[in-house]
Amino acid sequence: MGVKLLYFAWVREKTGLGEETVDLPEHVRTVADLMTWLKARGPEYEAAFEKSDVIRAAVDQTHVAHNASITEAREIAFFPPVTGG
């Protein structure tokens, strides 16, 4: 079953898309795994996830750390540190 990926702010601008649905290979089990996997998908992704340590993630609309599991995730979002308010 596919998982929905969302990108916001400069992550969105660099990947060139706001959202997509992907089928993840079994070895992609954490947020960090997913960023590594995405980076290998093309130059846009490589550029978007180049500074992967500053990118924040949310799994099913909850903030998570990079070592969080994504094996049950339906929706995963990547974005820069938030700047609202």
Partner 1 sequence: MIRVQQEDFDIGAEVDALRAGRTDIGAIVTFTGTVRDTAGGEPISEMTLEHYPGMTEKELERIEREANARWPLQGTLIVHRYGPLQPGDNIVLVVTASAHRQAAFEAAEFLMDFLKTNAPFWKKEAGPDGGVWVDARDSDDDALKRWQSPKKAAE
User: Shortest Cβ distance from residue 56 to partner 1 (Å)?
Assistant: 9
Q: Judged by CB under 8 A, does residue 63 bind partner 1?
A: yes
Closer residue to partner 1 in complex, CB, 40/54: 54
Question: From CA 43, how far away is CA 80, in angstroms rounded?
Answer: 19
Contact 8, 79 (CB under 8 A): yes
Rank residues 39 and 56 by Cβ distance to partner 1 and give the closer one: 56
d(CA 33, CA 12): 19
CA dist., res. 20 & res. 3, Å (int): 8
Q: Is 47 exposed, middle or buried (0-12, 13-18, 19+ CB in 10 A)?
A: middle
CB of 20 to partner 1, least distance (A): 15
| Residues 37-56 interacting with partner 1 (rule: CB under 8 A) | none
69 binds partner 1 (CB under 8 A): no
Which spans of this chain sit near partner 1 (rule: CB under 8 A)?
6, 8-10, 12, 58, 61-63, 77, 79-85
